[in-house]
Structure 1
Amino acid sequence: MLLLALSAVSLPAVQAQKKTKAKLKAPKVQADAIYDAVQKPAVPIGGVQGYADYLEKNQQYPTKALQSGHEGTVNVTFVVEKTGVISNVAVLQATEPELDAEALRLIRGGPKWTPAEHRGGKVRQRVTIPISYHLPLGAGGPAPAVVDGQPVKPAVGTTGAPAPTLVTAEQPARPVGGTEVFFEWIQKNQKYPNLARQRKVEGRVPVEFVIQKDGSLTDVKLAGKRLGSGLDEEALRLIKSAPKWLPAQFQGQPVKQKMVLPVIFQL
C-alpha cells in the first residue's frame, strides 16, 4: 500500500515537469519584429572599417553650422531590413538642424548591410550610429593667441603648478564683414579644377593659416588629408588670395592667431 501511494504522488510531478519544459521552449522568430539584440548582428557590406572609411570620406560639415560654431554628436538610429537595405532612419535626440540633416543624409546614402540572423533566420535589427562633428581649430570660437611669435603664458596658479601654455584671445580673429561674407567670397571665387570635375572628386580640404596683426593671411598650408585632382592647390590659392581679416585681440592689442578652416568642394 505504501508503494502504491508513492506512485500516485509521483505521476502529477512528472506531468508538471513536462509542462515546465514546454514553457521553456524558445519562442519562434516573429516575421516583422525589430530586434535590438540578436545572435548574429547586421554588419555593413565591406566590413566595419569600410563603413568607417565611407563615413570619413563623405561626411561634410554644414557651412551654416560651421559659421555658427555648432558642433556635437548626432546619434542616428535605423533598421537593417532582411534584404540589407536600411529604413526608419531618424535622429534619436535633436541637436542642431544642420548637423541632424547632414547626419541623416550620410546614413541614408551609405552602403547596404548584411542582415542580422537570429535563431536560424534573417531578422530586422535596429542599429544606432553616432556621427560626430568637431570644429577645426579656430573655427567658430577663440583660438590660442600668439604675441610676437610666442605663445602667451598666463600667471602661475597659487598652487605653484604651471597653468596651461596657451590662453585664448579675448577677441578672436574674424573676417571683415563676418563669416557669411567670407564663405560667400570663397564660393564666388572658387574655380573647380577640370580634372576633379571629370573624376567627380569632391570633399573638404582643411587649410591652416595665420592671421597676422594687420589682418593679412600668411603661412598657408594644407592641414589634413589630400583630395588630389587639383582641389588641394585650388584651396591654397583661395586662402592665399582671400581678403584681410580683423586680427585677434589680447589685452587690447592685436595678436597673431592660427586657424584651420575647410574649403568645401561639392559638385
Structure 2
Amino acid sequence: MNAKRLLLSLSALSLVTVSLFASSSGQLQPPPADEGRVIENPDIPALFAGGSGEMHKFISQTLRYPADAVERNAQGLVVYTFIVEKDGTLTNFDLIHRADSSLNKEALRILQAMPPWRPAKYKDQYVRSKSYVPMYFRLNKNANAVARNTTTRSTNTIGKTNPDIANSEVYSIVEKMPEYPYGEKELAGFIAHQLRYPKEARQQGIEGRILCSFIVAADGSIFNIEVVQGLHPQLDNEAVRVLSLMSKWIPGENKGEKVNVKCLLPIDFAIDEEPIP
C-alpha cells in the first residue's frame, strides 16, 4: 500500500446496555470547552475513573428511562462522541448514532452528569482527546443485560447478515468479552494488509473514522457487520468487506456459556499524500 498510510484505531468496545429499572441522578450543565489541539492517538487513552465496570454502574444508577419512550416501546443504540479535556471534563458532544429522540436526550443527560474522566496522556503530558460511549436502551423487566437486535441504522452498509443470529439473544455486556485470537496488534495488521483505499475517496482526499459494529456469534463467527458512522460509500463498503474477511474470534462467555455478543470497532482512514486533482 505504497503512498498511503492507514491508521487503525481498534477497540472491541462493549455496548453499554441500559434498562428501564434503574435509579436517577441530577443533570449537570456541560463544562466550557477548553481550547487546544485534540490528540487523535494518545499514548494513554482517556478513561472513566475506575474503568468500564464503574462506568456501567454509574450509567445504570443515573438512568431515567423516558416515560414517553416506554409508551412507544422505544429501544435502540445511541452513540455520542465527545472531547475529554485536560482536567477530565467532557465537552463537545456529537450524536453519531440516533435512536428515539427521548433516548438520545437521556443518553446526553447521562454523559453530561458523568464525573471527570482520567484524561489522556501524550508524551507524559495531559492532553485533550476524543472518545465515545455507546448506550443500548432496551425495555427488559428482568434487566439482565440482554439486548435484542432492534437498533436503528445510520447507513445501509451491512455485511454477512444472519437473521437467526439477529433474532436470538445478543448480549452487550458479558463476563468475558470476545477477543481476536491473535491480539489487537495482529488484528490491526490484518486489516491494514487487506484494506484497499478506494480510488475515488483517495482522489477526493476523504479521511476520517468509520465506526462499525458486528456480532461475534457463540461459535466465534462474525455476522451482521454494520457501519454505525460512515464517511463515504466506498470507504464504508471497504470497511465492511475487510471485516467480513476476519477469521473466527474467541467468543464471549456469560455464566460459563458461550454467547452472541455485539462489539464496536472504529477504523481510521488516513492518506499521507496530497489529493489527486
| TM-score bucket of the superposed structures, by smaller chain | 0.3 to 0.5
TM-score (ref. length: structure 2):
0.44
Is the radius of gyration larger for structure 1 or structure 2? 1
The higher-RCO structure (CA 8 Å, 6+ apart) is: 2
